[in-house]
Structure 1
């Protein structure tokens, strides 16, 4: 992941807090794709993820005065997005069970197949934890904050998710020997 611009986030956030829509626009441009990708992992629906991404940044603009510039901005945005997605899921009516899922193209690399398997097989919270830690490269402490869990609980979620994926991958034809996900990196001893 490209984190080289994040050192400018506190300055941009302070400017946005003072009313600079241009500074906030730079933050939106910087993080829009990553927030969208994360929300897509939660919603599994492109339109829902697009709507929630827009709502996330609107809420962030409204609440920018509550952002602590001493903390990384991306986990704050992910937390807002996750809370909005939970609220949206509660409001959403379930779809009839007989609607077929859209056909998806077969992922080409082992890593893509593994992520697709994780998306299909894991509960949303486990998939989100994997995504945030391995794809977004967030430390366990930040993943825990976003998910509203203790750091130790996130370690357990990641361990169980990796174990389940390994079992499912072994039983799936195209993933006889999946690439291993590394152990989580964090601050807990």
Structure 2
């Protein structure tokens, strides 16, 4: 039987929701159901010459069920365990959005507190706490003695603690 394009278009419009629902019920996955519903109509189009013209709903339903069964039995669908080193690449290092926002607010707060310090404590505190530089790196960059920087950082910590406690009251 030669395909009647208009009749086929009507069948798609009339049964697309039913076919999608069948596929979704069987696969329990929205995206797989979309693909299988599309494959159902594509298969029906290719095999229209086998359709006897009676009851397109039953014919399309049978195609959809068979497509879903084949999909569910497919060995390509089986999931393989992901090696730990590959799984590590997929992890989000930033954490949850709430944690990221909280972390950003804390860093901004610390930067603000460091900005309230007087020199030479401000530059050491900002470099150490905000820019996350090590004292050895800071000594190399600035040409200052590491013991001097340690003393300034120690005093900066005491001053920051006092500022923090002042804010909490």
Q: Which has the higher contact order (CA 8 A, sep 6+)?
A: 1
Task: Please tell me whether Structure 1 or Structure 2 has the larger radius of gyration of its CA atoms.
Answer: 2
User: More helix by proportion, 1 or 2?
Assistant: 2
Task: Give the TM-score range, shorter chain.
Answer: 0.3 to 0.5
TM-score, normalised by the number of residues in structure 1 = 0.39
TM-score, normalised by the number of residues in structure 2 = 0.43
